[in-house]
Amino acid sequence: MAQQRVPLIAGNWKMNLDHLQAIGVVQKLAWTLEEGKHTYDAAGAEVVVFPPFTDLRSVQTLIEGDRFRLGFGAQDLSQHDSGAYTGEISGAFLKALKAGYVLVGHSERRQYHGETDEICAAKVGAAIRHGIVPVLCVGETAEDLERHGASAVPVAQLRAVLGTLQADAELVIAYEPVWAIGSGQAATAEQAQQVCAALRTTIREVLGDAAADRTRILYGGSVKSGNIAGFLREPDIDGALVGGASLDPVEFAAIARFQKHVGV
Ligand code: 13P
């Protein structure tokens, strides 16, 4: 983690927790973070949750009403702004809810919904058009890893999107090796650092130094409070995208307080 980049701890709830459960989890998360006095404010980390679409309005009103220092975002958006796209959600709607972030190209969307690099690029463009920061997810499968090594596929996925952006575009990258997601088998900090460094080099080549130095790159895949500190010690890892462990507000708060474990 480099000093100039504010660490980002993001919780992707996937298809878990309805809007009533969401209220309980967000309250507990905010209270746990406040109580411990290692607040994300003091620790300098930004904490963001990504609930299902149907929870977003409840989460927004709760965070706003109680002034919780939490951000929120959506797990997907349409590449289109409006029209005859049954079941799709426009970036304009997310902006109206004041969502700060949106996930794009999560491996589960690439795998189960056929999202190609072209679709991801269009979705990243849609998010930027609506003033929402896209969190572009990239990562290799176990087969990719065996065939091409760790970096080739995530770098190609990133390059396909970066080529469509302006140098001043704000985005976040999440490196999530598919084999590490939900497996309990996280990458080692060294493995993750190696790929995140390659991703940053790619940003440098395509968008220049300022974008490379500014853009936050997260690691995701079986992150827990017990392994977060190792990832955040690495120079090119600026946070985490957490799945399963983000459903438990006490565990997710412990991850958000990673500085306590890093010992800085
Ligand atoms: P897990 O933390 O459950 O492995 O999920 C990671 C992930 O896919 C976050 O987007």
- The percent of residues in the chain predicted with pLDDT above 90, rounded, is 92
Average pLDDT in the chain: 94
Percent of the chain with pLDDT over 70: 94
Q: What pLDDT, on a 0 to 100 scale, did the predictor assign at position 263?
A: 46
Q: Whose CA is nearest to atom 2 of ligand 1?
A: 243
Higher pLDDT, 34 or 170: 170
Report which ligand 1 atom has the smallest distance to the Cα of 220.
6
**Residue ranges around ligand 1 (CB below 6 Å):** 12, 106, 176, 181-182, 220-223, 241-245
Question: What separation in Å is there between the alpha carbon of 82 and the centre of ligand 1?
Answer: 30
Distance 12 CA to ligand 1 centre (A): 7
Rounded mean pLDDT of 32-45?
64
- Written as one letter, the residue type at 52 is P
Whole-number Å distance between alpha carbons of 29 and 33 = 6
Predicted confidence at residue 189, as pLDDT, reads: 98
Q: What is the mean pLDDT of residues 161-187?
A: 97
Gap from CA of 243 to ligand 1 centroid (Å): 3
Tell me the one-letter amino acid at 172: V
Residue carrying the six token digits 């905010």:
30
Amino acid, res. 82: S
pLDDT at 264 over 90: no
pLDDT band, very low/low/confident/very high, at 42 (cuts 50, 70, 90): very low
| Residues belonging to the active site | 106, 176
User: Is pLDDT above 60 for 23?
Assistant: yes
Atom of ligand 1 nearest to the CA of 107: 8
Sorted by where each starts, the structural domains of the chain and their CATH numbers stand as: 8-257 (3.20.20.70)
Average pLDDT over residues 180-192: 97
Strand-pairing partners, residue 48, are 10, 71
Sign of the dihedral through C-alpha 252, 176, 1, 7: negative
Q: Which of 49, 103, 181 to mutate to test the pocket of ligand 1 (most atoms within 8 A of CB)?
A: 181
Amino acid 38: pLDDT: 46
Distance between Cα 125 and ligand 1 center (Å):
24
* 134 beta partners: 102
Residue to mutate (ligand 1; options 9, 12, 16; most atoms within 8 A of CB): 12
Residues 52-79 have a mean pLDDT of 97
CA-137 nearest atom, ligand 1: 10
Residues in CB range of 183: below 8 A, 6 or more apart: 221, 222
- Give the closest residue (by CA) to ligand 1 atom 7: 243
In this predicted model, what pLDDT tens digit does every residue of 130-162 receive, in sequence order?
Answer: 999 999 999 999 999 999 999 999 999 999 999
The tokens for 32 are 């746990």
Whether residue 48 has pLDDT greater than 60? yes
